[in-house]
Homo-oligomer: A and B are copies of this chain.
Amino acid sequence: MGSFARKEHQFLAELGLAPRNPGSFACGAWGGSGPVVIAEVVEASAREYEEGMRACYDAAKTWMAIPAPKRGEIVRQIGDALRAKLHHLGRLVSLEMGKILPEGIGEVQEIIDMCDYAVGLSRQLNGSIIPSERPNHMMMEVWNPLGVVGVITAFNFPCAVLGWNACIALVCGNCVVWKGAPTTPLITIAMTKIVASVLERNNLPGSIFTAFCGGADIGQAISLDTRIPLVSFTGSTKVGLMVQQQVNARFGKCLLELSGNNAIIVMDDADIQLAVRSVLFAAVGTAGQRCTTCRRLLLHESIYRTFLDQLVEVYKQVRIGDPLENVRSTMEASCL
């Protein structure tokens, strides 16, 4: 929309984004017939979820039969495709989520690193041959793919968390069904376009990587879906508990990455300058939207006044506004 018209947002086109974007990549094709939630992203409907999941479940048979090192090669190509768009993707993370640009780029780099790591793993997914008590017998233990892994991510790390889960899931022989956060649909779409292009170039079913923009209804569909034996959820403790109860009730398994409530304790013999800078980054980094964000400060009374004065001072350097326009030097220095 208006956003697209602005010169500084031309990079969005480089990522394959248009003023109006279908929010469901399912059955290897883009769809989206649900309500328009944010700007011009059309979220996935329940019918699209069902069709997409069916195709994803089918694609699992293809994907798990491909040798692990070949799956690693696909993930390597995904890493290279992300590398080629590193700065554009980083800007989009910044634009849509609100963290500063170095952090946006840093987050995309994280998923690239995960790709490299997973490529190496694809030749090391070793099973075991275990000695038995019975003569001339041995026990064999091999890792079999689960089929489809569900990944529900949060808005604060709209692509890195996908990477932690999807890169490993893919080399292990699992298809991925991804629901990104409802408030960061553009990064969901841009990421998915990149993965889809790699799958297409290798003549693989696009459904191996299925993605939905959507809200709680799609999330719940994943939680309840018996075709998804493992669900990774990142988000609030409250919702995480609900997801876990739903997934466990059908004997599925969960990976949860939930809330934190971190404190920093500063003693009287601390290096105050270092501590102040650390608190600033811990509290303001990622726009304060991080499970590891510092929320509480426990100060020794003897340094309480000095510390607070210095902290107020450095907070003044933090400018509020467009994360792409403002260069917050202290923050950038801290986060690099």
Q: Using CB atoms and an 8 Å cutoff, list the residues of chain A in contact with chain B.
A: 65-70, 72-73, 76, 80, 113, 116-138, 140-142, 241, 244-245, 248-249, 251
Residues on B with C-beta less than 8 A from A245 are 245, 248-249
Given A69-B132, A116-B120, A123-B131, 12 more A-B residue pairs with CB atoms under 8 Å apart are A65-B135, A68-B131, A70-B133, A80-B80, A119-B119, A123-B130, A127-B129, A127-B138, A128-B129, A129-B140, A241-B249, A245-B249
- Contact in complex: A128, B128 (CB < 8 Å): yes
Q: Which of B121, B125, B128, B133 is within 8 Å of A127, CB to CB?
A: B128
- Contact in complex: B120, A117 (CB < 8 Å): yes
- Contact in complex: A133, B67 (CB < 8 Å): yes
- Contact in complex: A132, B67 (CB < 8 Å): yes
Name 23 A/B residue pairs within 8 A (Cβ), A-sorted.
Answer: A65-B135, A65-B136, A67-B131, A67-B132, A67-B133, A69-B113, A69-B131, A69-B132, A72-B116, A73-B116, A80-B80, A117-B119, A119-B120, A120-B123, A124-B130, A127-B128, A127-B129, A127-B138, A128-B129, A129-B141, A241-B251, A245-B245, A245-B249
Residues on B with C-beta less than 8 A from A251 are 241
Give the distance in Å from the alpha carbon of A132 to the alpha carbon of B113 in the complex. 12
- Contact in complex: A69, B124 (CB < 8 Å): no
Residues on B with C-beta less than 8 A from A127 are 128-129, 138
Give the distance in Å from the alpha carbon of A202 to the alpha carbon of B129 in the complex. 27
User: Closest 6 interchain pairs by CB?
Assistant: A120-B120, A127-B129, A68-B131, A126-B128, A69-B133, A116-B119
Q: Smallest CB-CB separation from A128: which chain B residue? A: B126
Least distance between A264 CB and chain B CB atoms (Å): 20
Give the distance in Å from the alpha carbon of A139 to the alpha carbon of B241 in the complex. 30
Give the distance in Å from the alpha carbon of A251 to the alpha carbon of B122 in the complex. 32
Q: Smallest CB-CB separation from A109: which chain B residue? A: B133
Residues on B with C-beta less than 8 A from A72 are 116
Q: Which of B70, B117, B126 is within 8 Å of A129, CB to CB?
A: B126
Residues on B with C-beta less than 8 A from A244 are 248
Residues on B with C-beta less than 8 A from A130 are 123-124, 126
Q: Smallest CB-CB separation from A121: which chain B residue? A: B120
Q: Which of B113, B125, B128, B137 is within 8 Å of A131, CB to CB?
A: B125
Residues on B with C-beta less than 8 A from A121 are 120
Question: Given contacts A245-B245, A248-B244, A248-B245, are A122 and B128 in contact (CB under 8 A)?
Answer: no
Residues on B with C-beta less than 8 A from A142 are 129, 138
Give the distance in Å from the alpha carbon of A241 to the alpha carbon of B131 in the complex. 34
Least distance between A187 CB and chain B CB atoms (Å): 23
Q: Smallest CB-CB separation from A125: which chain B residue? A: B131
